[in-house]
Structure 1
Amino acid sequence: MKKVLMIAHQFPPIGGSGVQRTVKFVKYLRNFDYEPIILTRDASNAALKDETLLSDIPKGIKVVRTNACDFAALPGIFKYFGKVVNKLLIPDSERVWQHFARKQALDAVKDNKIDVIYTTSAPYSDHLLGVYLKKHYPEIPLVCDFRDEWTNNPYHVRKGLRAKIERDQEKMVLKYADCLITNTPVMLSNFLRDNPETKGKFYVIPNGYDDEDFVGMEDIKPANVRFTLTYTGLLYGKRKPDNFFEALKRAIDEGSVDKSKINVRLIGNYKVDQLQAVIDSYNLSDVVALMPYMKHRECLLELVKSDALLLLEPSGPGAEAFYTGKVFEYMNTKRPILASIPERGAAAQLITDTKTGLVSDFNDIENTKKNLIHLYNCWDNGTNPINPVIEEVKKFERKELTKALVEVLNNSFKK
């Protein structure tokens, strides 16, 4: 059985969407004759934790936990200083962690007789640690997995000297990696456009869903007295609910949706006061409910109990590349997706191909309103607005995606 060192700063018991991809690979790699050894951070002071995700790690898997170097977790007023430091670090706040984890990473390669190294971002410092190991062990293949784009990421715009430094860092990672993975075909096109020399190195492995996470939920049918529309995940930067709120308000004001018969739930780790103020400004406090971050399985259960699921992803340069991880679990619930996303993007194409929902552009408030009204009317009439292509959805099951990863790991030995 080959051994793969997986460098993943975000790993259970840390919670959130960023850990799902790696922990699911870890869960199934043994099925394909690979033994994963994970190098990650200590999670004692992590802001977002979900202990239930530890159950996905098979018994006996070795996890090397390094000091976190988390400046934002400093006590008292020092945390504000820490946040400033984090913003100054290049490429990200984990640069210091990457530096001090070097010795343990070298030891992990030597002590475990590692055959191949895998790194995943964000944070991009994971890849820099991988390159450091590659320079010390040039005979060991390096596979770098970009869950999101780096210098082309619309959520993290770089300028001036910082942009140049990060472009150079990115070029270095692309050069030293034997194989590269990205999340969507659009991301792949963007990487190849900017880095044509990487052609032949890149592979696409999307995010997905785990059938085992849904065990026991197969026969659940929504039984809501109000049309229940649920969103899960983060809201930050340009990913704001304002356009959807405007569409919802218009549908209510014109009488197309009965305010007393609709319930919108936002589940996640939010700045509650700020978000509630936005909800109040649209006069939707009786309609929109904020719910705290939930453990992964509890969150899936809430999705299955819903009548429809809300997907938000802002339009703009680079945004068309994103799938967003939650879309695959959304699809597997077989509940209709109300998607307000880049209409020419990867996620829109995915939803269209699988026939799992209705798509409108993030900035198209009128079309979002029409799609919302259609789903509401279908609920009110007891009709099903979608007919999912199950064969297409199943392509994104985690076992299949792990099999694809193994093919890339195997190919890395041929480079």
Structure 2
Amino acid sequence: MKKVLMIAYSFPPAGGPGVQRTSKFVKYLRDFGWEPVVFTRDTENMPLRDDSLLKDIPEGIATIRVKSWDISAHKGIRGLMGKVISRKILIPDSERLWQIFEQKKAAEAVINEKIDMIYTTSLPYSSHLMGLYLKKRFPSIPWVADFRDEWTNNPYILDNPYNPLRMRIERKMERNVLKAADCLITNTPVMLRNFIEKNPDLELKDKFFAISNGYDSDDFKHIASEKQKNDKFTITYTGSFYGRRKPDIFFEALHQLLSEGKIDRKKLLVKLIGNFKQDHIKQLLDRYMLQEVVAVSPYMKHDECISNMIASDCLLLIEGGGPGAEAFYTGKVFEYMTTGRPIIAIIPAKGAAAQVIRETKTGYISDVNDVQGAKDNIIKLYTAWLENENIFSPDFNAIRRFDRRALTEELSKVFEKAESRVKR
């Protein structure tokens, strides 16, 4: 069996949605002739930890853990200084020290493990710089770089641009990765198109592929999909709010529906599950008079989170608008669509996530600033709940295209493409 070195800074037991793309690839790659060897950070001072995700890692997978060099993890003044250095000085991200000081160990792993393929995934983008270093050391070994998010065209950078010097440096780093990698992967077709259009001189079309995030049917096998009717119409949101991703339009829609008497306050429950700035959420709940109907819970283990989703009447998906926003699938949309519960989506109406929801018939969409559209979708599902009427009919054949095992097979085909490019 051929071996692939998978360079992933975020890997179980690290928690969060970005971890699962790599861990699910690792879970299924053996089925397609590839033995993963994972190169990642150590487990000390992980900001978010979820040991339940370790169950996805097959027995016997070699995992090489090295020092994280996370200078923001220190306590007190050292930690504060570390955060400033990580955000303001290190380029392209806070993991640059990890890349610089541990890339020689990655090279040792290539030799000792007799690696046939190198795979890097971002965030952090420093993982790709480690891949670039390895490609220069081992030019005959194919390298595949996987962009979970765009780099210099990332909406969060577009909203808060770095200074011109830093942007030039990062743009050069990005182009070096695009040129050197044998194959490249993006999370959505829109991201793929953006990379190609913004780099017309690099002839990327033949080596760029789109592999979406997805869901793992194994995650749902032990959880009953049938549920009793809730005493309250239950809407659940999982994740976090930051940058453009804000709950304001949803809260405004709820506030209006409650004020207009279209929803009985005593028959509504909204669950927010994830990492939230508690003071900010409290201010919003006070502003929209939703204190009695919204329950806020901290990050919970993946299995427990899925149980909460399935026990809900519908699931809330929120993404902000603005330049570049159409490129995103938020990863949770795929797990949402597998629960058999309808999605209330307040997202870019012409974006990638909206397209997937329409194709799979898994939810109701309103644009990012459309309060009336959000109200219409909420009341439609609330009324159906009241009347015990089923108005939801997802297309399960379309949903199955996003099964993690099938997506891993697509990755194995990209590996084959990368091998053929090196052999030319």
Distance (Å, rounded) in 2 between the aligned partners of 1:91 and 1:168 = 11
Q: Does 1:143 align with 2:149?
A: no
Please give the per-residue CA displacement for 1:238-277, whole angstroms capped at 9, x wherever unaligned. 1110111001101111111111111011100112122112
Equivalenced residues, count: 415
Describe how 1:17-166 pairs up with structure 2 within 5 A. 17-87=17-87, 88-157=89-158, 158-159=161-162, 160-166=164-170
Tell me the distance in 1 between the aligned counterparts of 2:367 and 2:290: 22
1:284, CA displacement in angstroms? Answer: 0.3
**CA distance in structure 1 between the aligned counterparts of 2:228 and 2:44, rounded to whole angstroms:** 38
Distance 2:83 2:391 in 1: 46
Aligned partner of 2:291 among 282, 285, 291: 285
Q: How much has 1:390 moved relative to structure 2? A: 0.5
- CA displacement 1:311-335 (0-9 Å, x = unmatched): 0000111001001000000000010
Whether 1:180 aligns to 2:184 is yes
1:252 and 2:249 correspond = no
Task: Find out whether 1:208 has 2:209 as its counterpart.
Answer: no
Residue 198 of structure 2 aligns with which residue?
194
Is contact 2:269-2:293 (8 Å) kept? yes
Cα distance in 1, alignment partners of residues 393 and 284 from structure 2: 34
CA offset at residue 44 of structure 1?
1.5
Task: State percent identity of aligned pairs.
Answer: 56
Shift of 1:404: 0.4
Deviation of the 1:217 alpha carbon? 2.2
d(CA) in 2 for partners of 1:221, 1:392: 24
Q: Which residue type is aligned with residue 185 of structure 1?
A: P
Alignment RMSD (CA, Å)? 0.9
Please name the residue that 1:413 is paired with. Answer: 419
For structure 2, the 5+ residue unaligned runs are: none
Question: Which of 298, 305, 318 is matched with 2:324 structurally?
Answer: 318
Candidates 277, 287, 296, aligned match of 2:302: 296
Task: Quote how far apart the aligned CAs of 1:106 are.
Answer: 0.6
Decide whether the 8 Å contact of 2:225 with 2:310 is kept in 1. no
Q: CA deviation at 1:155?
A: 1.5
Structure 1 unaligned regions, length at least 5: none
Q: Which stretch shifts more, 184-193 or 333-342?
A: 184-193
Structure 1 position 218, deviation (Å): 4.1
Query: 1:223/1:155 Cα in 2 relative to 1: closer, same or farther (>3 Å)?
Result: same
Which of 262, 265, 282 is equivalent to 2:268?
A: 262
- Correspondence for 2:399: 393
State the secondary structure of the residue aligned to 2:270: strand
The question of whether the paired residues in 2 share the 8 Å contact of 1:222 and 1:307 is answered with no
- The correspondence for 2:362, drawn from 352, 356, 367, is 356
Give TM-score scaled by structure 2 length. 0.97
Aligned structure 1 segments of 4 or more residues deviating by more than 3 angstroms: none
